[in-house]
Chains A and B, each alone.
Chain A
Amino acid sequence: MVLQTFLPGRLAAQLVLLGGFGLLAGAAVPATAQAPTDTLQSQQLPAVRVAGLRPTRFAVGSRQLVLDSVALNNYRSGTLADALGARTAIYLKNYGPGQLSSISLRGTSARHTAVLWNGFNINLPSLGEADFALLPVNGTTQVDIQPGPAGATYGNGAVGGTVQLSAAANSPADWGRGWHGTAQGDYGSFGLGAGLVTAGFSNRKVALRTSFNYRRADNDFPFYVGEGRGRVQQRQENAAFRQASFTQDATLRLGQRGELSAAIWLTDADRQIQPGIGTNNTNAEERDQSRRLTAGYRRVSTRHEWAVRTAWFEDVINYRDDVSGLSESRVRTSQAQAEHTWRLAPNASVRLGAEAQYFSAQVDGYGTAPRTENRYSGFVLLRYDPRPRLQLSLNIRQAVLPGRQPPLTPTAGAEWMALAVGRHTLSLKSNASRSYRAPTLNERYWRPGGNPDLLPEESLGYEGGLAHTYKTAGLTLQNELTGYRQLVDNWVQWTPGASYWSPRNLRQVRAQGLEASSTLGWQPGAYRLMARASYAFTSTEKTQGTATDADPVGRQLPFVPRHTVALSTDHAWRGWQLGTTLTYTGHRYTDASATDFLPGYLLLNASVGRTLAVAPAWQLLVLAQGFNLTNNSYQNYQNRALPGRNASLSLRLLWH
């Protein structure tokens, strides 16, 4: 009954952690709400066990968006770029279907977003960013997005925001499920083919989950160049890809308090690099492989919580084209984290922790010798609720980087439920944070140009917001409005020098804006509706720069849309499902002078599906999805073609 089970967590795309007791007083409550719903046994109550505190507990006053397993459901065989692009008002700069997708949170660049997997930063150390087209949804059960600076809580790079991916068994619903599994096959336009298999088992002691998925496409879609009578159709060349991903998660409970966990995530993508319209096709090809292993031990009691975690990552990027030949890179990252949490009282907790990272890079662009770098940081996170309706948090982190010291980065947040009248609640939230970003390995070591003297970027930001909830038996409405402002100093940009490009600490950038969202859940009977609307106004400008910075001040930065809108509806009735997503991306300037721009565009997608019970414990979902239904000819990034109307058909078999 996967798709028919109504849970509050279904609201969770764009869900806001409301100021109330409900969602924040204990981690167990939101965890239940966000549990995978493809089971009925999740209703059983687990044995009395104290759950560990999630990092979001120390992020009071910040806006939070959650894409849970239900919101991710239609994107199971896709990537995070697909899911975020359709379900949120977040802008992803995209170079073509399956091509590089870089996130821009609150008008900053992709290297200003920390992407964490099971608590570890997985941004490529060389580039300092993650390609969302290389992160398959299937390995993930939940995506938590926290826009805004939060360096104290999440460490390096959490300047524009943080994206946390989790797959581990971290909610009570993940336990005692017995065996369960999913198999899916997709077939779609332009040679799209995808398949996935997921299998899992859990009892009260052990939880295991294995998943594998594969996706390929030719992407030989037609597109149009020119205007009016001069408009001609062309067919995209050199844009095929295939990618595969494997995940294995295992959690073992040791006694009533201990928990041992381990996870493996392997991704492998072989992509042709889509040439720009009118650009020489050099048969460019890129192989991206990531191998990620983590293991951790956690011991939780009523007053204390200990956790140690370790991770080993290997990221390979091998690029080749006819003109420049082969360029290979491999970076290995070893990380360790240790933390201790004291639950001083039901309304107060303190977490003290430290982390160490070691990078070893063998990159053609850095020269023949491997480059190594160590980074460390220590942090204290405080959470205190002086009144039942008032929550406070104060976090501090100090990072230690080679050569340069980033500043002490504190974060302070408060949430106050100002009003709880009848079915309405109204909360006020605010948060102030200082954050930092360490120079990437490319920025420091690339030859020529790498600048070892680069300073870490620093940011100081604050936000304030209102969250309103209205709830009746059959209807839930959540509204949230957030305003923010942030200054990023020592902003790094690659600029042309006398003979080569080099990154420099050029300027200060101010990002400010508004984010509004509404989520409506309505279930009058057998019919169920979920509707979400979100809007973001983003203004990002250079405010001052060094003498060598030629870009003007006071202009919207290139490739940051001022306006983005995402509307989605999900309807369910007796095994039928219908979904629509409509997104609008406003115009984006293509130069720093804000003179030339790519026009804004609307994208309409829809899906229709039917779930059939084929046998006891077996269900079959038939899902048809249509993309770009209005057949818009549009560009997300300059002169990168994107397909017109296209479709896919999925068959999914569920077993539990």
Chain B
Amino acid sequence: MKPFTAFASLPGRLLLGSAAALTLLACDPDKDPTPGLQPVVTNSVFVVNEGNFTRSNAEISLFSKATSAVTNKALYASVNGGPLGDIAQSMAVRDSLGYIVVNNSNKLVVVSMAKFKSKATISNLKLPRYFVAASSDKGYVTETVSYSTSSGQVSVIDLKTNTVTKTIAVGKQPEQLAVVGSRLYVTNNGENTVTVINTTTDAVEGTITVGDGPNSVVADRNGRIWVLSSGKIVYNPNPTRLSKGSLSQIVPGQLTATTREMPSDQSSPGNLTINGSLDQLYYTYLGGVYTLGINDATLPTTPLIKRGSFYGLGVDPQDGTIYGGLASFSSSDKVIRFRNTGAAIDSFTVLAGPNGFVFY
């Protein structure tokens, strides 16, 4: 009974998508998000394999762009000689370090990107979900805390000592987060809000109302924040959708959002991702992948990629190649690659539940 209970009570876990780690990188506040970004060169793709709940089989697979092949399916264990932990929810990179959020082990594992050697572990987090670095010294991690409480939290991490220095109460079930300038935007998936935190003082500046169930966030080349929301569904007595999914845009400094509703109520959009030049958005919806430019007037009604209910979605910042992770959680799962035109390139096999991609 327990696994079913767990699955059923944690739909958010299953709904969530990629780490959008690229965005987190690209949002480096030290670098003004102005036109004329430096071209990004990537050689490797780190695939985050979420793993099976309670089986401690989360892993990172390493894919080489040069050979178009997986060079190490279980990178973490082969380098470090032990399992990564239970449920790898996401991974992000800052400087030469990778930060892997291991949800059901309540920890953040810090690895060197060069050798993937474990450098530090920040333990005793409370169901951590996503990580973002605001600078080389400071990072933030969202934590659910509990599915039965009304608020989650964000822990402030000192990246020099790898310790938690402060926790900030936010909304219910905080998910992805993004830093733009001196502000941190936290999506509160259990409600319809984004919490804005000042990264200098770590004080909450305010709360922005967006659509129901915000699940992913990216920042574009103009410094605007895009928030994708899944809409609200209740499962009792029968699955009933109370609101459609939506896409919101926030102008930095403002505590309001412009929200556009998705055309169909048949699906929950997720996995908002942005390309390398930070002007084209991608997300999963209606069993496919949709895309729109940051200046497009309307939401797209036809998909870029028809096939594939992707659990994880990534876009290579260098060449726009799209990576879609298919998750069965029972067999070795697959990642399919597409050109930015939507044409399929090839596929490769990883481990259970590929939920995100880090391009490095």
Contacts and interface: CB of A to CB of B under 8 A. Distances in A.
A496 B328 contact: yes
A276 interface: yes
Contacts of A500: 7-8, 11, 14, 235, 239
A472 interface: no
A284 B53 CA distance: 14
Interface stretch (B79-87, B158-166, B295-303, B315-323): B79-87
Given A499-B15, A638-B55, A324 B235 contact: no
B211 to A, nearest CB: 16
Interface residues of B, number: 54
Interface of A: 126-127, 225-228, 230, 273, 275-280, 284, 286, 317, 319, 322-325, 327, 329, 365, 367-369, 442, 446-449, 493-496, 498-501, 550-552, 558, 590-593, 595-596, 638-639
B328 A495 contact: yes
B14 A499 contact: yes
B233 interface: yes
Nearest to B82: A226
A558 B331 CA distance: 9
29 contacts: A226-B82, A228-B81, A276-B56, A277-B83, A278-B105, A279-B54, A279-B104, A279-B105, A280-B104, A286-B2, A324-B10, A329-B1, A368-B236, A368-B237, A369-B237, A446-B8, A447-B239, A448-B11, A498-B268, A498-B287, A498-B309, A499-B14, A500-B8, A500-B14, A550-B328, A551-B330, A551-B331, A592-B331, A639-B86
A544 to B, nearest CB: 15
A496 B14 contact: yes
A324 B127 CA distance: 11
Nearest to A225: B82
A591 B311 contact: no
B56 A278 contact: yes
The A interface, classified by DSSP as helix, strand, loop or mixed, is: loop
Interface of B: 1-2, 4-11, 14-15, 52, 54-57, 80-83, 85-86, 104-106, 127, 144, 146-148, 233, 235-239, 267-268, 287, 309, 311, 326-334, 349, 351-352
Contacts of A551: 328, 330-331
A327 B147 contact: no
Nearest to B5: A327
B6 A324 contact: yes
A322 B6 CA distance: 12
A319 B311 CA distance: 29
Contact of A496 (B55, B56, B81, B327): B327
Nearest to B74: A596
A361 to B, nearest CB: 12
A277 B55 CA distance: 8
B110 to A, nearest CB: 16
Contacts of A279: 54, 56, 85-86, 104-105
A496 B329 contact: yes
Contacts of B352: 591
A503 to B, nearest CB: 9
8 A-B pairs with the lowest CB-CB distances in the bound complex, closest first:
A592-B331, A593-B332, A550-B328, A448-B235, A639-B56, A325-B148, A278-B56, A279-B86
B254 to A, nearest CB: 31
B2 A284 contact: yes
A591 B54 contact: no
B167 to A, nearest CB: 17
Contact of B147 (A225, A324, A499): A324
A447 B327 contact: no
A550 B310 CA distance: 13
A498 B57 contact: no
Contacts of A638: 52, 55-57
A447 B81 CA distance: 40
A276 B82 contact: no
Contacts of B80: 230
Nearest to A501: B7
Contacts of B8: 365, 446-449, 500-501
A638 B127 CA distance: 21
Contacts of B334: 550
A206 B72 CA distance: 70
Contacts of A230: 80-82
Given A279-B56, A498-B267, A500-B235, A591 B330 contact: yes
B329 A276 contact: no
Contacts of A275: 54
Given A230-B81, A278-B85, A442 B267 contact: no
Contacts of A127: 1
Given A278-B85, A317-B1, A498-B268, A324 B11 contact: no
A280 B86 contact: yes
Most buried by A among B14, B106, B328: B328
A535 B268 CA distance: 51
A227 B239 CA distance: 47
Given A325-B147, A639-B55, A319 B236 contact: no
A369 B268 CA distance: 28
Nearest to A229: B81
A195 B270 CA distance: 56
Contacts of A317: 1
A298 B162 CA distance: 73
B1 A590 contact: no
A556 to B, nearest CB: 12
Contacts of B2: 273, 284, 286, 319
B256 to A, nearest CB: 29
B1 A550 contact: no
Given A324-B148, A447-B237, 6 more contacts: A126-B1, A227-B82, A276-B54, A493-B330, A500-B14, A591-B351
A16 to B, nearest CB: 36
Nearest to A279: B86
A590 B10 contact: no
Nearest to B102: A278
Nearest to A589: B331
A447 B147 CA distance: 17
A550 B86 contact: no
A234 B124 CA distance: 17
A431 to B, nearest CB: 32
Contacts of A550: 326, 328, 330-331, 333-334
Given A591-B352, A592-B330, A280 B14 contact: no
A228 to B, nearest CB: 7
A592 B55 CA distance: 15
Contacts of B81: 226-228, 230
B87 to A, nearest CB: 9
A129 to B, nearest CB: 10
